[in-house]
Amino acid sequence: MMYPISKIKLDFPILNRKINSNKLIYFDNAASSLKPNYVIEHEMNYYKYEYAAVHRGIHTLSREATNKVEQVRYKVANFINAKQTEEIIFTKGTTESINLVAYSWGRKFLRSGDNIIITEMEHHANIVPWQVLAKEKGLLIRYIPLLPNGTLDLSKLLSLIDDNTRLFAITAASNVLGIINPLKDIINQVKNISNSLVLVDGAQYIMHQKVDVQLLNCDFYVFSGHKMYGPTGIGILYGKKYLLDNMLPWETGGSMIKTVSLVKETTFNQVPWKFEAGSLNTAGIIGLGAAIDYIKSIGLKQISLYEKLLTEYAFNILNNIPNIKIYGSITHNRIGVISFNLGKHHAYDVGSLLDTYGIAVRTGHQCALPIMDYFKINSVCRISLAMYNDYFEIDKLASVLTKINKILI
């Protein structure tokens, strides 16, 4: 079956827009993916015809909205193969999900002298919360280093783990280098020699390939809706239920309580609601459910194969541009993220010129300064591919980069 790229493009109305008289070419999907009509319409319908506050409402609209939220919880659990729907917590996004674990689990269970292992490949969201926690609790943070080809030096992993290792936090795929980490093998190694928990940052992986949290045997898995064709402001924390049951509440207030008294001790709701204080982003949750339906209607397997071929094509084309420097292994298992610099020209200048041709790329340190430090650079241009990108767009990018190369000399 041929990949229905022309049909998929029609599903994303923003792709009809022109930037500087050029048809938009959107290569900034690792920052945030575009939204299909299917997702937009589901959110609009909620606001137009279905709007109500969820949980505990007796009237029809409230009951319907509550049912929709819980149906999406089930969809998410099914999408990542969680064992129970109660293991799915709605958050604002990946960053909040990681901070929730650091606060609710870390502050309760970690002690001075314990250590956490992360990697040099991480996004700041999977570095800074652990640094803050480490400073507060007297913890050690150990890092798996990078290799020159952008992969992790996994030969160092076992030497970093000891009896005081309590958490291993790792990205599924680098937001700068595109490298996909062999999570199942890594997690098996960690679990075989320690009692450490494992948290996976799946923000860059979730829209590209199938996730099975039971097969991975990770303890926490986090991701954001806006990177998988869903709305902004909604994310997921998956956690094994026995861990969630024993964690502290993240925020307090309405909905997350069981009883509140001015005299007796306040008691908390059961999971997942214990971690969902206040009014939920119901429209965002409904939009996330629609995004999952949309992805499944095309098929993750089909999307993954198409993106793999498109990424290989992009590498081959871009690699022939004079003065280009691409970071990360071309041959390694990867998602469609390619970071590069063009000679000695600043990434901002290259990105600005690309924008004049309607080509949207991300420039800067990509919220991954340790990677920049490793390669002794301060910024990169990054393209990140999605299901609606095509070969013509890659050719246009290469052509414009060749022109820019001549302009900036």
Question: Catalytic residue numbers?
Answer: 367
SS3 357: coil
Nearby residues of 131 by Cβ (< 8 Å), 6 or more positions away: 141
Lateral strand order in the sheet of 165-171: 88-91, 235-239, 220-224, 197-201, 165-171, 115-119, 140-144
For residue 18, what are the CA distances in angstroms to 22, 181, 290, 355? 5, 37, 27, 11
Secondary structure (3-state) at 158? helix
CA distances from 296 to 18, 30, 76, 222, 386 (A): 29, 20, 12, 19, 15
Does an H or E element contain 324, and which? strand 324-327
Residue 117: exposure state from Cβ atoms within 10 A (0-12, 13-18, ≥19): buried
In this structure, the number of other CB atoms found within 10 A of the CB of residue 151 comes to 20
Are 4 and 387 contacting, i.e. CB atoms less than 8 angstroms apart?
Answer: no
Answer whether the bond into residue 272 is a cis peptide, omega within 30°.
yes
As beta bridge partners, residue 201 has 171, 222
Region of residue 75 (phi > 0: left; psi between -120 and 50: alpha; otherwise: beta): alpha
Q: How many residues does the chain have?
A: 409
Q: In sequence order, what E strands does 145-288 have?
A: 165-171, 197-201, 220-224, 235-239, 257-259, 267-268
Distance CA 87, CA 24 (A): 39
Mapped onto helix, strand or coil, the DSSP state of residue 338 is: strand
CB 383 within 8 A of CB 361: yes
Q: Read off the DSSP letter of residue 287.
A: H
